[in-house]
Structure 1
Amino acid sequence: MSATHSSRLQAVVFDWAGTILDFGSCAPMGAFVKLFEQFGIEITIAEARGPMGMAKWDHIKALGSQPRIAAQWEAKHGHAFNDADVDRLYEVFTPMNAASARDHADFIPGALDAVAAARARGMKIGSTTGYNRPIMEVVAAIAAQGGYVPDNLVCAGDLAAGRPSPLMMYRCFADLGVWPAHAVVKVDDTGVGLEEGLNAGTWAVGLAVSGNVMGLTLAEWQALGADEQQARREQATEQLKAAGAHYVIDSVAELMPVLDDIERRLAAGERPGR
């Protein structure tokens, strides 16, 4: 392997909601609350956000397994929450989330510019998501109309395991024809999304403001005072750093200086590690 091949970044793999579009990752939230409500169960937005980034089937199972929600389910339905229940909810959830995604498909400010700048560096643009194929058929079509067409798309359910396993990233390596892993950057707004990159051996860049950890719409974020913004930014940054992020930035709009720094570190012989 040449030194150049080893020290230049070849691809950036973006998450979708909370990363490229849907500031605050809001589309799934109302859908999860509404979903459980249909089955007579009350959950909060904070509870719904907890497992964000996982495949949606796994996300529903994680929610139904939480003690407070599990107790409600058993009282209402007369049995412990089980995989058959997850299957039932998942069937209802997919069209519900697809409909919600249509209403939360605006690009995050600076996202298209960041993608264009990465391409101008000669990098491939990969993508993974916790959404399944039916939901992404809706989301990807809207994104394409707006000018975003990544070089590949790997959805939850495409492979034997989703996040935090590295399998979707391995599919990206194969689809994009890129290697070694340290020549790839994963950009995500969730802990499990960062972990899928880390487990595959890539660099990991967390997004503190635009995504699920912050959980605010763009208007809600802009309405906060500077001190409140900074306090919340620091809290979100801590969470993403705890998940293993090598860098944490507000949104993809700030990605280019990070790519410059990673290439500097690669040239000096540094590697991501865990």
Structure 2
Amino acid sequence: MTAPRIDLAVFDMAGTTIDEGLRVYQVLADTARAHGADPTDEDINRWHGAAKHEALKALLIDNEGIPPEPDRLALVVEDFRRRLQTAYAAQPPTPLPGVLDAMTQLREAGIKVVLNTGFDHDIVGLLLGAIGWEGDTIVDGVVCGTDVPQGRPAPFMIFRAMELAGVSDRSRVLAAGDTPRDLAAGVNAGVGYVVGVLSGAGTAQELGSHQHTHLLRSVADVPALVSAMTLEQAR
């Protein structure tokens, strides 16, 4: 890769770098139903890419518009975590094709790579352990929805990733994900490159209808994009 024009790539996890079969959304629906809600597919789709504790809190708002008490919500989140752990044990997640090579290429070019996710650290530990991405040999950090005051579409996870990576110039940050919330977070953070990938929950039509700079088949295509942008800038 030629000298990069970005300093940091921030990638979502499920559906963007990791294939978990979209089980997280089925488990989200099952957990909500087990605790008295009756979400439709549209209700669940609305929370693609969101912090899961925020999604569960919204899905469990009662008919009078009252959200669950904090103690109850904590129990629901713990139930969600157990159900997801069981689902992942039955069908372990895997890295999406070409993603590991892409992240290695980026890091070898001097670009920091930070993952961000709506999962909490317990679930992230399960995911990264299952695919062998533990430690700092694969990525430069992980930011969870529970690390910041508000999850996507708020920009705070991207800002936290910049802080972890020691990057201050937003124009030299690329943020990629498979949901409209991922794109909105990138736009709200004011990063230079907001990339939708078609490897997960979002379709080309869905992602294309939201503000972005690029749509790619996969994160595997990001190194080629960065090289092309750099060559274009050098002309």
Pairwise same-fold verdict (TM > 0.5): yes
Letter in 2 for 1:141: G
Distance 1:204 1:176, change over 3 A: same
The correspondence for 2:77, drawn from 84, 90, 102, is: 90
Which structure: greater strand fraction?
2
Question: What residue in structure 2 maps to residue 230 of structure 1?
Answer: none
Distance 1:178 1:98, change over 3 A: same
Report the CA distance between 1:115 and its aligned residue: 1.0
The correspondence for 1:253, drawn from 187, 208, 220, is: 220
Is 1:262 the counterpart of 2:229? The answer is yes
Q: Percent identity?
A: 26
The correspondence for 1:157, drawn from 135, 142, 146, is: 146
Q: Please state whether the residue corresponding to 1:136 is helix, strand or coil.
A: helix
The answer (yes or no) to whether the contact 1:13–1:126 under 8 Å persists in 2 is yes
Report the CA distance between 1:43 and its aligned residue: 3.2
Report the Cα distance in structure 1 between the residues aligned to 2:234 and 2:73, rounded to whole angstroms: 47
Is 1:20 the counterpart of 2:17? The answer is yes
* 1:1-274 alignment runs, 5 A limit: 8-22=5-19, 24=21, 26-64=22-60, 74=63, 81-84=66-69, 86-102=73-89, 103-144=91-132, 149-202=138-191, 203-208=193-198, 210-213=199-202, 236-264=203-231
Report the Cα distance in structure 1 between the residues aligned to 2:153 and 2:231, rounded to whole angstroms: 28
Report the CA distance between 1:55 and its aligned residue: 0.7
Report the CA distance between 1:86 and its aligned residue: 4.0
Report the Cα distance in structure 2 between the residues aligned to 1:98 and 1:139, rounded to whole angstroms: 9
Report the CA distance between 1:46 and its aligned residue: 4.5
Report the CA distance between 1:52 and its aligned residue: 1.1
Which structure: greater helix fraction?
1
Alignment RMSD, CA only?
A: 2.6
Report the Cα distance in structure 2 between the residues aligned to 1:191 and 1:15, rounded to whole angstroms: 12
Q: Please state whether the residue corresponding to 1:163 is helix, strand or coil.
A: coil
Deviations 1:18-66 (A, max 9, x none): 0111255x1212211221232344434443232111111111233345x
Distance 1:265 1:100, change over 3 A: farther
Please say which of residues 143-152 and 87-96 is displaced more in the overlay. Answer: 143-152
Report the CA distance between 1:106 and its aligned residue: 1.0
Letter in 2 for 1:156: G
Please say which of residues 35-44 and 161-170 is displaced more in the overlay. Answer: 35-44
Q: Please state whether the residue corresponding to 2:9 is helix, strand or coil.
A: strand
Larger Rg: 1
Report the Cα distance in structure 1 between the residues aligned to 2:145 and 2:15, rounded to whole angstroms: 16
Letter in 2 for 1:29: Y
The answer (yes or no) to whether the contact 2:195–2:216 under 8 Å persists in 1 is yes
The answer (yes or no) to whether the contact 2:32–2:56 under 8 Å persists in 1 is no
Q: Please state whether the residue corresponding to 2:129 is helix, strand or coil.
A: helix
Report the Cα distance in structure 1 between the residues aligned to 2:58 and 2:37, rounded to whole angstroms: 14
State the aligned residue count.
228
| Structure 2 gaps, min length 5 | none
Q: Please state whether the residue corresponding to 1:197 is helix, strand or coil.
A: helix
Distance 1:22 1:81, change over 3 A: farther
Deviations 1:54-82 (A, max 9, x none): 111111233345xxxx5xxx4xxxx6552
* TM-score w.r.t. length of structure 2: 0.84
* TM-score w.r.t. length of structure 1: 0.73
